[in-house]
Amino acid sequence: MSKSKPASLLILTYLTIFVCHLIFPLFLGYRAVYAAPEPPEIAADSYLLADLKTGRVFMSKDVDTPQVPASLTKIMTLFIVFDEISQGKLSFDDEVSISEEAWRTGGSKMFLLVGTAVRVEELIQGITVASGNDACVALAEHISGSVTSFVDRMNRQARELGLASAHFVDPHGISDDNRISAQDLFTLVNAYITRYPEALQFHALKEFTYAPPGDNPITQFNRNRLLWSYPGVYGLKTGFTTRAGFNLVALAERDGLSTIAVILGSARGKSIDEGERERIVLATSMLDYVYKNFSYVEVAEPNANLGRVRVWKGKGKWAEGIAPTGLGATVEKGKEDSLTYEVVFDTDLEAPVQRGMKIGEVIFTCEGEEVGRADLVAKDEVPRGNIFRVMWDSIARSLLKALGKA
């Protein structure tokens, strides 16, 4: 009896402590916080999963190593096409004459016929849905006069965007001499959809029917199977060659959380059907990881005024900063109330300031850890002031710098 009584008291004590741990948090308004688990293993040479709005990276591997992009090359081709459209040099209704070189281009095709005229809009659909190599050649020749000149422009554009790893030798990705890293693909896609959001409607198409003159209509389906299988996916492009393996850039959005998944060099050596299925399994596991474990917290609506900053030598003295697509960041689920942010403006702005020009950024932190950044841009143009304003600001600026106040 003397031994059983202490044992009973010990069990009762442990039970009491356990119950207290369960019940006390309910009275204290406690909300459980669960750390995100380790990301899944991804069988690919290189990959990246990130928040499109703030650049927060959730998982990655060898993001700076140049890889063979295959048809992901077409993203740069389309970047230039939409740049031409935005400048008014090209329109969706323009007709493009199909050359023999375009007609002879191998690989995936839109099935253009030599000597026919095809609208630019159809060629864009032929690239985004059918991944038509022939359509890429046709547009390259129409825009730059030759494929060689167009490829030169692709590489100039890559340099302008700061894509250090990118090197292109064709407009469609047939050659395995094309190169770009996962990180540079993220930068390219971000610039592409930010500058030309109208392009996204074409990447979201599940099928496209082209009717060659005098021939039967040809319907082709988008190789991005996520458009059917994963709610929230709206793009962007797939790619494959034997050497490259199965590549993918997937864009998705749920409850304000916009993500980009880049996969390079997966399922190498597999059949087309096996490789495409494996690619989708990998992308699904990446997207599931972020949407199960993270939440997007909005702190400002699109175009909300987030402060103003001094503009030197301008007709106006101030530039208002806005976030055109809204402002927010991604945090682990359960930590939504811990998100804080700081607005940091460029204090050395000099006119002219163009509308939409970056003039600052917002830095997001959660429990002391930075979780992303977002650009602030000028709401309106601030043109350069007259000679008197320029002279006065030059003197005032020099004085403030001498006093350590600027």
Parallel, antiparallel or unpaired: strands 305-312 and 318-322: antiparallel
DSSP letters, 367-385, are TTEEEEEEEEEESS-B-B-
Spatial separation of the C-alpha atoms in residues 225 and 233, rounded to whole Å = 10
Domain boundary residue, one of 277, 294, 311: 294
Q: Is residue 18 domain-resident? A: no
| pLDDT confidence band for 31 (50 / 70 / 90) | very low
Rounded CA separation 231/223 (Å): 16
Whether residues 388 and 339 share a domain: the answer is yes
> 128 with 270, same domain?
yes
* 212, 332: one domain: no
Could you list the beta-strand ranges (E) of 288-357.
294-300, 305-312, 318-322, 327-332, 339-345, 349-350
Confidence of residue 388 (pLDDT cuts 50, 70, 90): confident
Residues 287 and 328 occupy one common structural domain: no
pLDDT value at 25 more than 50:
no
Identify the domain boundary among 294, 316, 341. Answer: 294
Structural domain includes residue 21: no
**Count of domains forming the chain:** 2
pLDDT of residue 283: 98
C-alpha distances (whole Å) from 130 to each of 176, 252, 257, 335 are 20, 20, 28, 42
| pLDDT tens-digit series, residues 165-213 | 999 999 999 999 999 999 999 999 999 998 999 999 999 999 999 998 8
262 and 388 assigned to the same domain: no
Query: Is 154 inside any structural domain?
Result: yes
> 89 and 219, same structural domain?
yes
Q: Which of 264, 294, 324 is the last residue of a domain?
A: 294
Q: Residues in the chain, how many?
A: 406
Q: What pLDDT score was predicted for residue 393?
A: 66
Task: Give the CATH number, domain containing residue 310.
Answer: 2.60.410.10
- Nearest alpha carbon to residue 166 among 175, 148, 150, 154: 154
For residue 285, is it within any domain? yes
Structure token digits, residue 262: 């880049």
Q: What is the pLDDT of residues 237-283, one digit of tens each?
A: 999 999 999 999 999 999 999 999 999 999 999 999 999 999 999 99
Mean pLDDT over each residue of the chain, to the nearest integer = 90
Q: Which amino acid is at 148?
A: T
Q: Does 116 have pLDDT greater than 60?
A: yes
Please check the confidence at residue 29 and state whether its pLDDT lies above 50: no
- Do residues 337 and 371 share a domain? yes
Q: Using one digit for the tens of pLDDT, what is the confidence trace for 295-329?
A: 999 999 988 999 999 888 888 889 999 988 889 99
141 and 259 housed in the same domain: yes
Clarify whether residues 252 and 393 are in a common domain. no
Beta bridge partners of 366: 339, 369
Would 16 be classed as within a structural domain? Answer: no
CA quadruple 303, 376, 342, 56: dihedral sign: positive
Task: Tell me which residue of 283, 287, 359, 62 sits closest to 184, measured CA to CA.
Answer: 62
Whichever domain contains 167, its CATH number is 3.40.710.10
| Number of CB atoms found within 10 A of residue 9's CB | 10
The residues that are catalytic are 71, 74, 131
Residue 3 lies in a domain: no
Q: Are residues 115 and 62 in the same domain?
A: yes
d(CA 342, CA 362) in angstroms, rounded, equals 6
Residue 28 lies in a domain: no
196 and 216 assigned to the same domain: yes
290 and 311 fall within a common domain? no
Q: Give exposure, 122-159, as e/b (b: 16+ Cβ within 10 Å).
A: bbbbbbbbbbbbbbbbbbbbbbbeebeebbebbeebbe
Task: With respect to residue 13, please indicate whether it lies within any of the assigned structural domains.
Answer: no
Domain range for 96: 44-294
